[in-house]
Amino acid sequence: MSETPPLAHTLATTSQASPHRACFLLRVRPEKLAEYADVHQRVWDEMLQALRDAGWRHYSLFLDPHT
């Protein structure tokens, strides 16, 4: 089985015109959910710039209360 490349490599080598979509499912402990949601309302400017530099243009975060 092949090893998955590190995220930094994937971001750095992915074309900005890539039409592909990806999904990542993260489970958050119920007692940490309010803190997680609060922190993600205020994304650091540095993080937004890093996403742009990596070619990310359109992305979404969703909360699934059943997972």
Mean pLDDT of 16-40: 82
- Greater pLDDT, 18 or 56: 56
| Paired tokens of 58 | 């359109």
pLDDT of residue 58: 78
Core vs surface per residue 11-32: b (16+ CB within 10 A) or e: eeeeeeeeeeeeeeeeeeeeee
pTM of the predicted protein model: 0.50
Average pLDDT score, the chain:
79
So where are the chain's domains? 27-56
Res 56 pLDDT > 80: yes
- Greater pLDDT, 20 or 60: 60
